[in-house]
């Protein structure tokens, strides 16, 4: 199967990330779907789309579960089937995986896959509590450990082992805000200086305010089909050629090494093997930078550099456009935003835009192969996707 297209993405959409007051999550999903449908006039959504797969993490944000039929009805797709998936922050990557499996099995020819999360209508303590349900209850949540605290432990371990500093972490935030400022869909469209990041208040040492992703509302989606049907809908298909999924122990205390993600490494190895490519072949990547340390670790887990070298890769500017491997040209979760259920297919959306040459001032010249890296929880789950521009 090496390098063979699994499915084709014929279109994609993204609701603007941010504080979207007065809108329900279902309305944000409508917004994302409308962009996808509008950019693909050869697609008749009500006729061609046979099923919907939607990822969402927490019912608590809107007190609304049963997400599949909720969004399907608002899209006018009922009585067609709709399914909700959950894998913490990788929930919409899970939706895409199950949608892909359904198409590859022959059950459907065309499906809509995406995700939503409406978070900003809740207070920060409420959001923190809901997100914490993706960590271990008796040994993490019960003792008051939050996700900033969990990733701070990873950062501390990494700093101790490899000599990284708070300044290394800050370089990730500076880069991602640089690109977020150039992304009209991003939540925080401002640049920040190294000094501003380093002088921001601590959230969980060594992580400061600008080391942490945003509480964000958003939705994203893609429409996928069998590769041989792609040209029926678009002249610019993007093919999924590699996919890997893996899990780790849910709790940090139960892992051998806090400076790497076993799930991400395993998922990446599977995806590279399936796609028939190596890390050096990737032209652009979107990685899961829920906290700045997560991006540095991702460089290493994905094979973009050796262990302990991620801190230097970003400090030397090698993850900007024009560098060795441009990463998070969308602004990443750090600046674009992290509406958890929408993040996975939100990353796919940005790689799709790169591969069809529509990323504007953030465009990587000649990008042909892209990668996304999506974690769930404290990297207890991971999915890696490899996409290729259609010939």
CA–CA distance, 177 with 328 (Å, rounded to integer): 10
Contact 368, 389 (CB under 8 A): yes
First to last CA, the chain: 18
Pairing of strands 7-14, 218-225: antiparallel
Catalytic residue among 168, 177, 338, 373: 338
| H or E segment to which residue 71 belongs | helix 67-75
Tokens of 298: 């991702």
Q: What are phi and psi of 129, to 5 degrees?
A: -65, -45
Contact 71, 29 (CB under 8 A): yes
338 included as an active-site residue: yes
Cα distances (Å, whole numbers) of residue 299 to 73, 97, 137, 305, 310: 40, 23, 29, 6, 6
CA–CA distance, 150 with 131 (Å, rounded to integer): 12
CA–CA distance, 136 with 47 (Å, rounded to integer): 43
Catalytic residue among 89, 221, 290, 305: 89
113 included as an active-site residue: no
Which residues participate in catalysis according to the annotation? 89, 338
């Amino acid at each position: 199967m090496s390098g063979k297209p699994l499915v084709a993405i014929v279109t994609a959409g993204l609701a603007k990330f941010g504080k979207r007051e007065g809108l329900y999550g279902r309305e944000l999903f409508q917004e994302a779907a409308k962009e996808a449908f509008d950019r693909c006039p050869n697609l008749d959504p009500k006729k061609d789309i046979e099923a919907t797969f939607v990822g969402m993490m927490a019912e608590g944000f809107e007190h609304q579960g049963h997400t599949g039929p909720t969004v399907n009805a608002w899209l006018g797709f009922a009585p067609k089937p709709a399914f909700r998936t959950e894998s913490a922050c990788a929930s919409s990557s899970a939706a895409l995986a199950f949608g892909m499996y359904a198409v590859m099995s022959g059950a459907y020819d065309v499906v809509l896959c995406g995700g939503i999360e409406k978070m900003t209508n809740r207070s920060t303590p409420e959001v923190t509590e809901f997100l914490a349900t993706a960590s271990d209850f008796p040994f993490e949540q019960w003792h008051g450990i939050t996700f900033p605290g969990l990733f701070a432990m990873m950062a501390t371990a990494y700093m101790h082992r490899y000599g990284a500093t708070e300044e290394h972490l800050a370089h990730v935030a500076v880069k991602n805000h640089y690109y977020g400022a150039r992304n009209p869909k991003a939540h925080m469209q401002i640049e920040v200086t190294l000094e501003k990041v380093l002088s921001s208040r601590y959230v969980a040492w060594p992580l400061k305010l600008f080391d942490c992703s945003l509480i964000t509302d958003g939705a994203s989606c893609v429409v996928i089909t069998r590769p041989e049907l792609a040209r029926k809908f678009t002249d610019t298909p993007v093919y999924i050629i590699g996919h890997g999924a893996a899990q780790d122990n849910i709790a940090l205390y139960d892992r051998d090494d806090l400076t790497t993600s076993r799930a991400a490494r395993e998922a990446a190895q599977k995806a590279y093997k399936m796609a028939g490519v190596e890390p050096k072949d990737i032209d652009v990547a979107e990685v899961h930078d829920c906290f700045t340390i997560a991006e540095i670790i991702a460089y290493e887990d994905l094979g973009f550099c050796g262990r302990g070298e991620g801190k230097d890769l970003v400090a030397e500017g090698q993850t900007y456009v024009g560098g060795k491997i441009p990463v998070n040209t969308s602004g990443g979760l750090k600046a674009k935003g992290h509406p958890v259920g929408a993040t996975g297919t939100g990353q796919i959306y940005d790689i799709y835009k790169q591969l069809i040459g529509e990323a504007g001032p953030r465009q990587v010249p000649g990008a042909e192969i892209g990668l996304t890296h999506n974690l769930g929880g404290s990297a207890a789950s991971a999915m890696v996707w490899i996409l290729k521009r259609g010939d």
